Structure 1
Amino acid sequence: MIRNFAELELDPNLLLAIEEMGYDRPTQIQAEAIPQALAGRDVLASAPTGTGKTAAFVLPALQFLQDFPRRKPGPARVLILTPTRELAMQVADQARALAKHTKLNIFTITGGVQYQEHADILAKTQDIVVATPGRLMEYIESERFDCRAIESLILDEADRMLDMGFGPTVDRLSSECRWRKQTMLFSATLEGKGVEGFTADLLKDPAQIEAEPSRRERKKIAQWYHRADNMEHKLELLKKIITEQAERSIVFLKTRERLGELRAELERAQIPCAWIQGEMPQDRRNNAISRFRDGTVNVLLATDVAARGIDLPDVSHVINYDMPRGADVYLHRIGRTARAGKKGNAVSIVEAHDQPMIKRVERYIGEEIKERFIKELRPKHRKPVFKKKNKKKEDKKKVAAKSKKKVAKKK
């Protein structure tokens, strides 16, 4: 097991930058992906947010550019694709911090930027370009971006790119970069659409890596839940938590409609908040995130689609106002707090019908989530008990149903 970054045989100037950023030891995804990438293999990795995946693909790319320096000025040699502009900016910022002691040039090409700004970038020597697929494809079609020099293609949040309909564009970009030596694909999950939505020839014999947030990382997050009798009770619990317990909270909701309702309730209670949701104009999203980042507001309401990939510092509380549809999504949500070695809190406000989901989450993360009470807002109803299904009875029913089908077929 790799215990520190020095064991990864990285360039001293990269190790210095890592040290200055305060990272002491590699996360699981970094310890497993970096050696494979440095060996030149394609990488197929699943890594939830908060596991340090950006450094897992940026460090090998930087090391490659150091090992094989360019001989003359020219276009980008490493292309990183991300689904959104915010994520592209975050990845580029982290890459610049890690490349601080090198002379490498790192640029972003995304939507929402004037053409002239990009024209200036494209006229310079680029080493790494972080781009969103749609805008980059425009420049390739108009012959303003040259893919022939790309030696490494990296896809971050590949599953989300598929959700956003970028699959065909990414496949086209892949064929444009057909002279590359290496491909790395990072996705929140390797199941279902995570990877299968892309053509099979994107990766060649990849090293497969699946990383979960480590127990040690999760231990930094205190998790508990409050029971709510009804929607009014739920709202009162939330107001109490965000005004008296939390410093900076992200509140998760299932849908845009639910977000709109809660936003109106908080406005009525004169609790300032920002919000992000799917299909929101880019400038409004950026404005909401900036307001939360700079502390103008300390409550950010978000749907899961909108919050994917956004890295926000100093979030003290993640609040599940609506429980997510799956235990893996719960893990993604709570990964927004306790970042960069800090401690954090994950609070769920559950109604009776949410109780089975708490149990599912407990099974998934392998630990108990305790119930807590706020003295003046204790629930009046008893905790619901859901009986376990009798497996033997179920199995007997299935066998009986199968034999009935067989009999019917014979007839």
Structure 2
Amino acid sequence: MTFEELELDDALCQAVAEMGFETPTSIQQLVVPHAMDGRDILASAPTGTGKTAAYLLPACQFLLDFPRRQPGATRILILAPTRELAIQVYEQAVAITKHTELVCGVITGGINYGTDKETLSKNLDILVATPGRLFEHIEKETADCRDIECLILDEADRMLDMGFSNIVNQIASEARWRKQNMLFSATLEGAGVKYFSKEILQNPEIIEASPSRKEKNKIHQWYHLADDLAHKQALLVHILKEQVTTAVVFVKTRERLQMLKDFLASQGLQVCWLQGEMPQDKRNAALARFKSGEVPILLATDVAARGIDVPNVSHVINFDMPRKADVYVHRIGRTGRAGAKGTAIALVEAHDFEMVAKASRYMGEPLKARVIDTLRPKNKTPKIGPKKKK
């Protein structure tokens, strides 16, 4: 199938061709026709499968089919949980609307309110926003939601995890005259997403995209058993120096991030890092250095890294295993994007070993052990027995 066969305007087809997209991905083929029919959408798709364009293309087509008759406020509102994701969605919206007269804007926390004011004063067709900052503007009456015709929630599961459900519901009630809603989430399981969809969607088309083999994240995964912290650090340095082109290294806390940053610097490795509550300008600068290839290693906590889309990350390394299996899947989704190959390596001490089994069960595929000859573990692989009843 081609983008033209999805009955998209020539201006949009030209833009996606220039962006390097040759044919629509599974999620785009499934979502675009229903969305263009005006249906509400409840969709799940793994990251890296073209989900952003799946909702931007029909939204832009609607704006072209029904042009604005008079000046006014935002017509399409896209809510994203993190600043980075909001900026990425905005950049993709600008690229897709390149050959049209459509106007896009973005507002996120951590940016000067004066910049927001300037953005909101335009006749915006598409506004991408983080929920917290947009709600501040609604309360101050500096943002007007009455002209919103379509509300799109990206990474709805993440918004719930971050405690945004009340704010999102309040924003939705401010935009009560809208005609269409689309909700995208990594998974449709969880009670939270069901609650959101019941509150916000009306008789939605439910779409669960299994990516084709070509799109599937080709991620090779394995783990190294580590005896203790010093052994784990030695494994990490060896992998970063011998195997890696670019890597995102995940740690569980800000304290661990600081410790690891200093340690890697002492080993002559250049790193940049992202952590929660970091000033936006510093986050942007760190990401820019990593994306440009100036610095090959990015250290991150989960809070900081969700939704980051950096092409061509060769490795994801779990220096600390996460507490939940779905977080493991989100983490490794930073590599092997859009059909490229990627590698995910976990460095696992005995106390973390149970998480290997959980992640393996969650994904339905085995996680196998590997060893580096010069850094073989002294301890044996722990056995995981059945859980003891209390």
TM-score, normalised to structure 1, is 0.86
Closer, same or farther in 2 for the Cα pair 1:258/1:113, shift >3 Å? closer
1:54 Cα shift? Answer: 0.9
Taking the TM superposition and a 5 Å limit, the aligned residue runs for 1:323-342 are 323-342=321-340
SS at match of 2:337: coil
Q: Which residues of structure 2 form unaligned runs of 5+?
A: none
1:247 Cα shift? Answer: 1.2
1:177 Cα shift? Answer: 0.7
Aligned to 1:275: 273
1:185 Cα shift? Answer: 1.4
For the 8 Å contact 1:188–1:194, the answer to whether it is kept is: no
Q: What whole-Å deviation, never above 9, does each CA across 1:161-202 have from its counterpart, x for those lacking one?
A: 233332222212111111110011122333335425548431
1:218 Cα shift? Answer: 4.2
SS at match of 1:108: strand
- The number of residue pairs the alignment matches comes to 390
Aligned to 1:116: 114
For the 8 Å contact 1:79–1:153, the answer to whether it is kept is: yes
Percent identical across equivalent pairs?
Answer: 59
Aligned to 1:87: 85
Distance in 2, Cα, partners of 1:292 & 1:30? 29
Q: What whole-Å deviation, never above 9, does each CA across 1:21-65 have from its counterpart, x for those lacking one?
A: 222333332222222211211112233322322111111101111
1:157 Cα shift? Answer: 1.9
Aligned to 2:201: 203
Distance in 1, Cα, partners of 2:247 & 2:370? 18
Closer, same or farther in 2 for the Cα pair 1:234/1:292, shift >3 Å? same
1:313 Cα shift? Answer: 2.3
Q: What whole-Å deviation, never above 9, does each CA across 1:208-240 have from its counterpart, x for those lacking one?
A: 223455554446222222222222111101001
SS at match of 1:283: helix
Closer, same or farther in 2 for the Cα pair 1:60/1:114, shift >3 Å? same
1:352 Cα shift? Answer: 3.1
Q: Give the structure with higher Rg (CA).
A: 1
Aligned to 1:104: 102
Aligned to 2:156: 158
Query: Is 1:311 aligned to 2:309, yes or no?
Result: yes
Quick one: which amino acid aligns to residue 183 of structure 2? L
Distance in 2, Cα, partners of 1:212 & 1:306? 27
Aligned to 1:73: 71
Aligned to 1:404: none
Query: Is 1:46 aligned to 2:38, yes or no?
Result: no
Aligned to 2:53: 55
Taking the TM superposition and a 5 Å limit, the aligned residue runs for 1:256-275 are 256-275=254-273
Quick one: which amino acid aligns to residue 299 of structure 1? I
Aligned to 2:147: 149
For the 8 Å contact 1:47–1:210, the answer to whether it is kept is: yes
Aligned to 1:382: 380
Distance in 2, Cα, partners of 1:142 & 1:367? 50
Find 1:297's aligned residue among 273, 276, 295. Answer: 295
Q: Which residues of structure 1 form unaligned runs of 5+?
A: 402-411
Find 1:234's aligned residue among 232, 235, 240. Answer: 232
